[in-house]
Structure 1
Amino acid sequence: MVKVCSVLACVLLLQGCITSVVTLPVKVAYKTTKGVVKGTAAVVGAVIPDGDDKKSKD
């Protein structure tokens, strides 16, 4: 019974630390993916012209 109470107390006291450890990799993955998507969009935009040149409008 003492072990169960000890484990329960540790879980409640360390809840903030566990949340930080779990959310850190998610934040890093999100920022990395966001940068890769922006870079890919820039490369695709440079390779495939979107047709809004001033010459074609005249």
Structure 2
Amino acid sequence: MRSFLGAALAAMLCSGCAVVAVADAAVTVVATTVKVGAAVVGTTVDVGAAGVRAVVGSGSD
């Protein structure tokens, strides 16, 4: 009986670790997606600003 309880406890702890590992992986994927999205938005803003500067031109000739 004691070995059964030990095995059951070990199985519960391992499944808990698996849940934590999957949750950690999901958070990592979301964080990476947000980081890439922010980089794309930043690049788009930079390109847009360069286009506006090219169209408007500089005031000093």
Q: TM-score, normalised to structure 1's length?
A: 0.61
Structure 1 vs Structure 2: percent identity of aligned residues?
A: 29
Deviations 1:1-30 (A, max 9, x none): x8xx66x82443444312211111101111
Q: Which has the higher helix share?
A: 2
Structure 2: segments with no counterpart, 5+ residues: 1-7
Q: TM-score, normalised to structure 2's length?
A: 0.59
Alignment RMSD (CA, Å)? 2.4
Q: Which has the larger radius of gyration?
A: 2
Runs of 4+ in 1 over 6 A off after TM superposition: none
Structure 1: segments with no counterpart, 5+ residues: 54-58
Q: How many residues align?
A: 49
